[in-house]
Structure 1
Amino acid sequence: MQKCFRHRGSERAMLPLGALLVALALTACDRPQAQNKSQQTAPPPAVTTSQPVVSELVEWDEYTGRFEAVASVEVRARVSGYVDRIAFVDGQAVKKGDLLFVIDPRPFERALAQAQAELEQARTKAQNSALDVERGKPLLERKVMSEKMFDDRANLLREAEAAVKVADAKVATAELELAFTRITAPIDGRMSRATVSLGSWISAGGTANATLLTLLVTQDPIHIYFDISENNYIKYKRMAELGALGGKDGKGADVEVALPDETAFAHGGKLDFVDNRLDPGTATMRARAILANGKQMFSPGMFARVRLAGTPLKSTVLLPDAAIGTDQANKFVLVVAEDGMVSRRNVQLGPLHQGLRIVRQGVGPQDWVVTSGLQRARPGQKVTANRETLRLSAVRPAASDAPVSR
């Protein structure tokens, strides 16, 4: 009887505990249903979408170039002597033939006078020898003079005539050296500073020991050199063959230049040289353009940005950079369908144009691309799209809007 009583007491104690477990289980089952119900009732995230801008334009390839003078002359003396005069101001613009330096001419004037005197002396001897020959002819006919004596007189005449030529050449040399004491500008251009002062001794010649007097460079026009990659060189050659880039060799193609403090490429030039071999160390080809420099804005040694047409004029799709996402491997955009479903598109990008990014591949003009709220949209989910129209004028060009190949 006591054993039966204990069993019934245990059953009464377990009843409240079982009811509690059942209540907890029912509560746990109700929570996800409530959460799902709240999720189902939440509206899709709002984003802004726009169709790409379509514009007819040329894509440009940008390079870093360096200006160099069309002609550059190291001014050195052709005769040695002391500087007697400096006839220009440092940095002065000069014309061909303008006087730059004068070397003390007095030693050269004396040398010229001596050479002229020697020439006169040689002419006198030649005249006397000629008279001796003329006097000897009748004597030779009458057999008064031997043939040997007459031949000796004729040989002296020839020697005297040769001596006249030697003396004449010495006079010409002395005149030339005297003329070299006046150093003039060989080309039009702008002077550097004078590296010598009045009274300085300068050595002549074209060797390393010759004294450098100054440097003269041309200013207008001016060259700019830049290096293009092997792939771009091949691209330009194919464009040139189709007549889309200058002549058959690419010469004459339009080139645009911007200085470091300029945003726009406001200076135009023409491609006038492409090297005949690829640099094996850098896998680049040296190219050169020529530009007018009437305002003296460019100076040899300056750096500038250079761009060359990388494509012919074509219809191009553009989007703002805010619409472009990046992962580890690709650039992409999110496209919203008519029903609000989001899908991902990998894109191939080009340079900036008036604040918008050129999209070479991946989207079309009719696609609605997420331009704002990119972080709220997920591929495979729906969004509420607020459609807006993009315009080139609505985006302010940035300082980095330089067309660059990517």
Structure 2
Amino acid sequence: MMQIKKTFIIPVAIMLVSVLITMALFRLKNDQPKRKHITRSKIVEARVVQLKSIPTEITVYGRLVSSETVSLVSEVSGTIERGTVPFLPGQSFKKGDLLLKIDDRQVRYDLNGLKSDFLNALTAVLPELNVDFPEAYRTYQDYFERISFKQPLPSLPEASDQKIKLFLTRFNVYKLYFSVKNQEIRLSKHYFYAPFDGSIVSADLRVGSTARAGSKLGQIINLGSLEVEAPVPAQDIGWIDLHGTVQLTSSEIPGRWNGKIARIGKAIDEKTQSIPVYIRLNSRGQKPLYSGVFLTAHIPGKSVDNAFMIPRRALYGKSNIYLIKDGKLEYRPVEVLRRQAGEVILGAGIQNGDTVVTEILQGVAEGMPVKMRSASDADQAGGRQGSARQ
């Protein structure tokens, strides 16, 4: 009997002790003070709005080329002879330099033969003029003395009287005069003088070669008339400030250059929907550039009044931004006046004093508590990053 009682009492006692211990622990837990839940504000980068006039800019790319590229084509036949500068690719020259010439002996002899016939005609008409028109005789006598076989024929004096004109016509003076001038034009086609300061791009025929009518001799460019042809999106054409100075840069050549808008095309490229804009390079006093180099052109645009600029990353959707208002996030639609490289210009929808978030936000919602990042916050963040790197 006693054995049965022990078997029953021991488990009951263990259960009672367990219950008492559990109750004591529960009371002890309830007696501990509860921690208050603290909501921390997210720190974000932001800017305070100050509306002002903002200049715009259009960034485009193009290749520098000469606006004056001249192909030298022979209109006569003959052997090519040396000029005053070597006719070789890359050779520079000055305006008026003789680039090359084509053997002119035959044409020059024909010209002098015509001049001789012209002098004979004047010799025949001068005695007649001396008798009937002594005043005109002195004029034509001086003209006769000024004619040289080595110089171009001077302009024929104008006949002051109809009878003088008849005399000159009867002795073939006019006919021979124009024959000589025509032969002088033929002679001039044997010489190729530089029309500007420039460089030889190509030399298709060299000295000693035989040129024929229609033969391409080479190509030259004007180094003082360089321009960039840059395609500009059609929607940006209206923003261009035609009188502003264009800044030009190159990824291959260090430096900056200035230019001006020379002209704007009148047709849209069907494939790119862009319009060519031609920028004339101002080469005076600037580091020389080479034809063919690719340049980046920063074209000044028209200014926008009462506007504010933010990074493109701070724009959500097509025209929405986040603001900080009373310590909380606010999602607001705004007017986007212009989009340009890395930035957007805002108009209606914001006002002076608004705080616009300028960083990319993820996993946030309107009404979420936020705080604008201060200088001390930035320093602390930088210190933590430095410690992590160490």
Question: What is the TM-score when the length of structure 2 is the normalising length?
Answer: 0.60
Give the SS at the match of 2:354. Answer: coil
2:96 corresponding residue in structure 1: 97
CA distance in structure 2 between the aligned counterparts of 1:196 and 1:101, rounded to whole angstroms: 11
Task: Supply the AA of the counterpart residue of 1:317.
Answer: F
C-alpha displacement at 1:343, in angstroms?
Answer: 1.9
CA distance in structure 1 between the aligned counterparts of 2:291 and 2:354, rounded to whole angstroms: 49
CA distance in structure 2 between the aligned counterparts of 1:49 and 1:371, rounded to whole angstroms: 6
What is the aligned-residue RMSD (CA, Å)?
A: 4.3
CA distance in structure 2 between the aligned counterparts of 1:262 and 1:357, rounded to whole angstroms: 29
Cα gap change, 1:373 to 1:94, in 2 (>3 Å): closer
1:61 corresponding residue in structure 2: 58
Cα gap change, 1:218 to 1:317, in 2 (>3 Å): same
CA distance in structure 1 between the aligned counterparts of 2:107 and 2:347, rounded to whole angstroms: 73
Cα gap change, 1:311 to 1:119, in 2 (>3 Å): closer
**Could you list the runs of 5+ residues in structure 1 that have no partner in the other structure?**
1-37, 131-156, 205-209, 237-244, 246-250, 391-406
2:190 corresponding residue in structure 1: 181
CA distance in structure 2 between the aligned counterparts of 1:70 and 1:341, rounded to whole angstroms: 59
Question: What is the TM-score when the length of structure 1 is the normalising length?
Answer: 0.58
C-alpha displacement at 1:97, in angstroms?
Answer: 1.4
**Offset from partner CA, 1:30-62 (integer Å, 9 cap, x none):** xxxxxxxx9982533532243246465301123
Contact 2:49 2:353 in 1 (8 A): no
C-alpha displacement at 1:172, in angstroms?
Answer: 3.7
CA distance in structure 2 between the aligned counterparts of 1:263 and 1:47, rounded to whole angstroms: 43
1:202 corresponds to which of 163, 187, 211: 211
2:374 corresponds to which of 385, 388, 403: 388
Cα gap change, 1:330 to 1:58, in 2 (>3 Å): same
C-alpha displacement at 1:310, in angstroms?
Answer: 3.1
Give the SS at the match of 1:186. Answer: coil
CA distance in structure 2 between the aligned counterparts of 1:40 and 1:375, rounded to whole angstroms: 27
How do 1:67-78 and structure 2 match up within 5 A?
A: 67-78=64-75
CA distance in structure 2 between the aligned counterparts of 1:88 and 1:363, rounded to whole angstroms: 67
Cα gap change, 1:86 to 1:379, in 2 (>3 Å): same
CA distance in structure 2 between the aligned counterparts of 1:41 and 1:80, rounded to whole angstroms: 100
C-alpha displacement at 1:188, in angstroms?
Answer: 2.8
2:217 corresponding residue in structure 1: 213
1:308 corresponding residue in structure 2: 299
Question: Among the aligned pairs, what percent are the same residue?
Answer: 20
Contact 2:107 2:187 in 1 (8 A): yes
Give the SS at the match of 1:112. Answer: helix
C-alpha displacement at 1:285, in angstroms?
Answer: 4.5
Number of corresponding residues: 300
2:39 corresponds to which of 38, 43, 47: 43
Contact 1:342 1:382 in 2 (8 A): yes
Give the SS at the match of 1:115. Answer: helix
How do 1:297-376 and structure 2 match up within 5 A?
A: 297-312=288-303, 314=305, 316-320=307-311, 324=314, 326=316, 329-330=317-318, 332-338=320-326, 340-347=327-334, 348=336, 350=338, 358-360=345-347, 362-371=349-358, 374-376=361-363
1:80 corresponds to which of 74, 77, 81: 77
Cα gap change, 1:50 to 1:232, in 2 (>3 Å): closer
Task: Supply the AA of the counterpart residue of 2:226.
Answer: I
**Could you list the runs of 5+ residues in structure 2 that have no partner in the other structure?**
1-33, 129-166, 377-390
Contact 1:108 1:177 in 2 (8 A): yes
C-alpha displacement at 1:202, in angstroms?
Answer: 1.3
Contact 1:255 1:289 in 2 (8 A): no
CA distance in structure 1 between the aligned counterparts of 2:236 and 2:270, rounded to whole angstroms: 17
